[in-house]
Amino acid sequence: MIDSLLYLTATRSDIMFSVGLCVRFQANPKLSHLKVVKRILRYLKRTLNLGLWYLSNDYDLKVYADADFGGCRIDRKSTFGTCQFLGHALVSWTSKKQNLVALSTVEAKYIAASAYYA
């Protein structure tokens, strides 16, 4: 079910955060995680008319990146993310927890930049 939801995040950016949290618990799922996945599926059923449309003649590629400092309260690791736009259409995005624990916002952004360019 989570693989199907990951596939849908390409056109349904409103479920990206919720599906990303479900992916974290895929190695050791519990009944509560199944309930969350079913809730996401019910949300999708109610909102079939939402989604992204890629109708653009503007082909300028724009990339945005950002990082937070100590975003995860469990292990104090920072999260960084990027999104790439072709014209006004979102074509790719990433959101990942950093492998290192940063001690400042500048260090978190430096780690994110080096990971992005690698």
Instruction: Say if residue 57 is in the same domain as residue 113.
Output: yes
Confidence of residue 118 (pLDDT cuts 50, 70, 90): low
Identify whether residues 117 and 78 lie together within a single domain: yes
Q: What is the mean pLDDT of residues 3-24?
A: 83
pLDDT of residue 73: 63
Q: At what angle do helices 31-46 and 16-24 cross, to 10 degrees?
A: 160
Q: Do 23 and 66 belong to one domain? A: no
89 and 114 in a single domain? The answer is: yes
Number of domains in the chain: 2
Give residues with Cβ within 8 angstroms of 3, minimum separation 6. Answer: none
Q: Sorting pLDDT into bands at 50, 70 and 90, what band is 41? A: very high
pLDDT single digits (tens) 79-93: 778 888 888 777 777
Same-domain pairing of 109 and 99: yes
Q: Which residue has the higher pLDDT, 106 or 16?
A: 16
Q: 92 vs 53, which has greater pLDDT?
A: 92
Q: Residue 38: its pLDDT value, please?
A: 93
Which domain covers residue 19, as residue numbers?
A: 1-52
Average pLDDT over residues 19-37: 88
* Dihedral sign for Cα atoms in the order 17, 18, 19, 21: positive
Same domain for 46 and 89? no
